[in-house]
A and B are shown apart, each in its own frame.
Chain A
Amino acid sequence: MIYLDNAATTFPKPNSVYEEVERCMRNYCGNPGRSGHQMSLEAARKIYECRESVAELFHTSSPELVAFTYNATYALNLAIKGLAHSGDHILISNLEHNSVIRPVYALGRRGVSYGIYNAASGEDELIRDLREKLRPNTRMIVATHTSNVVPITLPIKRIGELCARHGIIFIVDASQSAGIVDINLNECNITALCAPGHKGLYGPQGSGFIIFSDRATKAEINTLIEGGSGIDSFEREMPHLPPERFEAGTLATPAIAGLCAGIKAIRRIGISEIAEHEERLRRRLYDMLANTRGFTLYGPSDTRGCTVLFNADGIGSTELSDELDRRGVCVRSGFHCSPLAHDVLGTGDGGAVRVSFSIFNTEKEVDSLYTQLKNICKA
């Protein structure tokens, strides 16, 4: 089997991830931050170690500002709904995933308005469009760092500068970039960064996080859910400080332990080495398809990234991905939960096929995919 759906979730994981999840389940899976016995404290230590790893990865020194969630969608809902108030205006890009579009749309019922800026026509156009769409009540800008559909990475440093100049909250969805692009939270003036653990960080599904800047904690951030926190038991409100404020209920300790191992693994390999490897594979497939009649490629040709989006003449995207599946190749067809991006790309009717890479993919696998595609299209 050739797995090329890594933008959805990476597979396989490094061996150390499987081993740590099992070690946790067998040896130290107490309820972290609850009891005072060794098993609970050991689980809490592992959780804290993972907070430190995440903080280091994004060049911050405050592990307590890392709150664990179950995925990036939860983290984005927390950031967007927790920081927006009635009367606020939010700007989102036209490359956002539904994990941003839907919570922003839902806030419309609470008196929050939104606009969409163009992130698909180059950096200068993006900044120009953002400036033009700013309103006096614009409180928040949300940016997917790297699109999950096409290899476009947004200039978060420039957007962050604009946010800082106008006192605007800046939320970054790093679902596709965490572990592949080096991100400095403070240099980019990011208020809150959200990411899944199970994609470029090679952790298990069920792990995700939000990391706040020091600046963010000065604002009152509303909670998404409330419940047990292991502390302040007689208070009716959630604790005021992160991370416990945002972590009601028992954490997914085995998933977080696996995430900790995943982060260690990518740091051992090196983020830039991973990016180079995936870009090499992407470029190989892109060039082969671009030089073959019968294929239409989408997105800019001169960028870097780890996704290739295409269609084949005379065959629907789902039909093509189903046929690839029958031949042992996993890719994803359709709209990839990013309807705005597909509208911009002109694939809003039938979607397209997305191929996405990880550090475990090889050139041989790319060549095999290409051969299968040619065979399917010939037939």
Chain B
Amino acid sequence: MESYTLALSSATMALKAQNVLSKYSIRSTVVRVDPGMTRRGCSFGIRFDTYNADNARLLLTRNSIKYSELNG
């Protein structure tokens, strides 16, 4: 299964995002994002199955959780 990763501002926000997604039965894992993939240096993200990407973005936005797409 292909996976997709969104970057969050911190481990705290990644864990919050994971909790939100899990309430809607979207399984995800918190991961350390490769520093080269974001502009700010070290950060965290959540990884989930690619087919959940649209729903995940929608749920995070609804819950005022800011995320960013990875550069590469």
Q: Interface of A with B (CB < 8 Å)? A: 32-33, 35-36, 41, 44-45, 47-48, 51, 63-64, 229-235, 239, 241, 243-244
Q: How far apart are the CA atoms of A18 and B58 in the complex, in Å?
A: 41
Given A48-B16, A64-B16, A241 and B40 touching (CB < 8 A)? no
CB neighbors of A among B33-64 (8 A) = 35, 40-44
Contact partners of B11 in chain A: CB under 8 A: 32-33, 41, 44, 48, 230-231
Total of A-B residue pairs, C-beta within 8 Å: 59
Pairwise interchain contact B42-A239, C-beta atoms closer than 8 A = no
Pairwise interchain contact B32-A44, C-beta atoms closer than 8 A = no
Contact partners of B9 in chain A: CB under 8 A: 231, 239, 241, 244
Pairwise interchain contact A243-B12, C-beta atoms closer than 8 A = yes
Is B70's beta carbon under 8 Å from chain A?
A: no
Which 7 A-B residue pairs are closest in the complex by CB-CB distance? Answer: A36-B32, A233-B41, A33-B11, A48-B15, A234-B41, A232-B40, A233-B42
Q: Interface of B with A (CB < 8 Å)? A: 9-13, 15-16, 30-32, 35, 40-44
Contact partners of A241 in chain B: CB under 8 A: 9-10
Grouping DSSP codes into helix (H, G, I), strand (E, B) and loop, the B interface class, with mixed when no group exceeds half, is mixed
Contact partners of A239 in chain B: CB under 8 A: 9-10
Pairwise interchain contact B41-A230, C-beta atoms closer than 8 A = no
Contact partners of A232 in chain B: CB under 8 A: 40-43
Q: How far apart are the CA atoms of A52 and B27 in the complex, in Å?
A: 20
Closest to B66 in A: A241
Closest to A244 in B: B10
Contact partners of A32 in chain B: CB under 8 A: 11
